[in-house]
Amino acid sequence: MRPQVVAHRGASHDNAEHTLRAYVAALDDGADGLECDVRLTADGHLVCVHDRDLRRTASTRGLVSTMELADLDQLDFSSWKNPWNDLDDEAPVRDERLDKVLTLRTLLEVVADYDRRVEIAIETKHPTRYSGLVERRLVEQLRHLGWDRIGSPARVMSFSWTALQRVERLAPAVPLVMLLDSARHWPMLRRMIGPDWLVGPGVEVLTDHPRLGPRITRSGHDMHVWTVNTQTELELCLELGVKAVISDRPAYMLDLLEKREGA
């Protein structure tokens, strides 16, 4: 059975990450799932933004946590990816609504309304000034859609074991993914995480530490691996029996898998 292909921040290789444009492109590409990072604004909205500040993606020094949603909505979250687009006379007219800040609620509604099952992996970012409020707001939104039950298309990921514990207490049926960016953390985390938790190692960690993947597999935990963008990385994941690959290039991953199955 082939692994699930999950679009990392949308189809972010070709589109500005975390924009509705990137997620629509990923769905059009046939992605099985979408991945996003969430942060809480000053007025209590969860928005899909990776960095704590906006210098990289919106050309401002502002912090997400100190700004209100209305302020974020005035910013351009797309031009950094395609800085010369305005100078291209032959470029198609762009719908600016697809390039604005994206709220988690909007993304969840897109997933809920889509004409096939699409899963969504939501990463809560820590440390944050709002601590556990992020997880509480997230679970509230999942509960609103009935996605706090068994069979939910949503799962929650974090590098913070404490954050995942919060989600487990608030919504025990929601799948959890313990993210891992260092092989030396695994011996400790293996003893701490729940028996049904998934493990999300970075592909670079698996590449640099060849024995880590088999160790995780032997522990009985399925793996969802990020960020898988090359054929070599995909082949490693297939060798390890990974259940989901999270990629900036979902169309490319699906094409590689299709060709492999055809062969």
Q: What single DSSP character describes residue 100?
A: S
Amino acid identity of residue 110, one-letter, is V
Cβ 135 vs Cβ 124: under 8 Å: yes
18 counts as catalytic? no
Contact 8, 247 (CB under 8 A): yes
Contact predicate 180/205, CB 8 Å: yes
Residue in 8, 13, 18, 224 annotated catalytic: 8
In the block, residue with structure tokens 């199955």: 261
Q: Which of 45, 50, 126, 221 is catalytic?
A: 50
Three-point CA angle 130, 134, 135, nearest 5°:
135
Chain centre distance of CA 162: 19
Asked about 8 being catalytic, the answer comes back as yes
Q: Which residues are catalytic?
A: 8, 50
